[in-house]
Amino acid sequence: MKKQENITPILKITDLKKSFGDNHVLNGFTMNLYEAENLVLMGKSGSGKSVMIKCVVGLMQADAGTIEIMGKDITTLSQKEFNNLRTQIGFLFQGSALYDSMTVRENLEFPLRKFPEYANKSKQLVLEALESVGLKNAIDLMPEELSGGMKRRIALARAIILRPKIIIYDEPTTGLDPITAKEIIQLMIGIQQKFKTSSLIITHDMDCARVISNRMILLIDGINYIEGTYKELAASKDKKVQEFFK
């Protein structure tokens, strides 16, 4: 990935620090996400992966460090500017996080409600998004009527409805059977090719990482411990890195 280094990254995280009391979760985490790449972030449970991405989308405030999304430092933005920038980021939550008092259609329409310009296109956008995940028939169902795999797909459809430049996946395959997990991975690859998005994928699933990643970063002890392609990391002699590939 040498040749990408002179291109400006679409998401640039520098020296990020975050603690909860004495629990120092992030101690200077640095990473870049480039256009149209699939970057996999791995780390043990509790290593701070979710905390890191929550800082990126503004659900948590970092203690120190900078986050630049498409060249803009998020700490310098007003709430309104930040909200607009956030529409460039799709977020797939660890547990899908569908609104369970709303139908699938209302779930997908929810991100559109802040944009009057989408008002007359919303029907079409919802159908297109559902089509991308192969669940057009589920449009009038409630989330409780969906299986875990279907929920994940609907959540994915909701994440891509505003055509974001960046998609962040928090453990997209956890809790699914291997076959459904593979289907979700194929969907993610399909979406990446169709919309040319950059993806930041957090996962524990080595198969997923192998199939989908252009590049990987391991988050260990609160820093970006090592980065490289799947092959490079698999060949690493470092003990802490090898633990992941056992």
Q: Which tokens in the block code for residue 5?
A: 């280094």
Query: According to CB under 6 A, which one of 25, 98, 146, 233 is a site residue for ligand ATP?
Result: 25
When asked if residue 20 is in the footprint of other proteins (CB under 8 A), the reply is no
When asked if residue 172 is in the footprint of ligand ATP (CB under 6 A), the reply is no
Nearer to other proteins, 9 or 143 (CB): 143
Residues 6 or more apart whose Cβ sits within 8 Å of residue 124: none
Q: What is the CA radius of gyration of the chain?
A: 18
Sign of the dihedral defined by the CA atoms of residues 155, 230, 218, 89, in that order:
negative
C-alpha 207/C-alpha 139 separation (Å) is 31
CA-to-CA dists, residue 155 to 89, 105, 147, 167, 213, angstroms: 14, 11, 12, 12, 21
Shortest distance (Å) from residue 58 CB to Mg ion: 17
For residue 99, the partner it binds in Mg ion, ligand ATP, other proteins, none, with Cβ less than 5 to 8 A by kind, is other proteins
Shortest distance (Å) from residue 99 CB to other proteins: 5
When asked if residue 46 is in the footprint of ligand ATP (CB under 6 A), the reply is yes
**Four-CA torsion 85, 229, 196, 35, nearest 10 degrees:** 40
Shortest distance (Å) from residue 88 CB to other proteins: 11
Piece of the chain touching Mg ion by CB under 5 A; list 30-38, 44-52, 161-169, 225-233: 44-52
Query: According to CB under 5 A, which one of 32, 47, 50, 224 is a site residue for Mg ion?
Result: 50
Residue nearest to Mg ion (CB): 50
When asked if residue 51 is in the footprint of ligand ATP (CB under 6 A), the reply is yes
DSSP 160-176: HTT--SEEEEESTTTTS
Nearer to Mg ion, 155 or 161 (CB): 155
Piece of the chain touching Mg ion by CB under 5 A; list 5-13, 42-50, 101-109, 148-156: 42-50
When asked if residue 93 is in the footprint of other proteins (CB under 8 A), the reply is yes
Sign of the dihedral defined by the CA atoms of residues 154, 157, 162, 167, in that order:
positive
| Cβ(89)–Cβ(157) below 8 Å | no
List residues near ligand ATP by CB under 6 A. 20, 23, 25, 43, 45-51
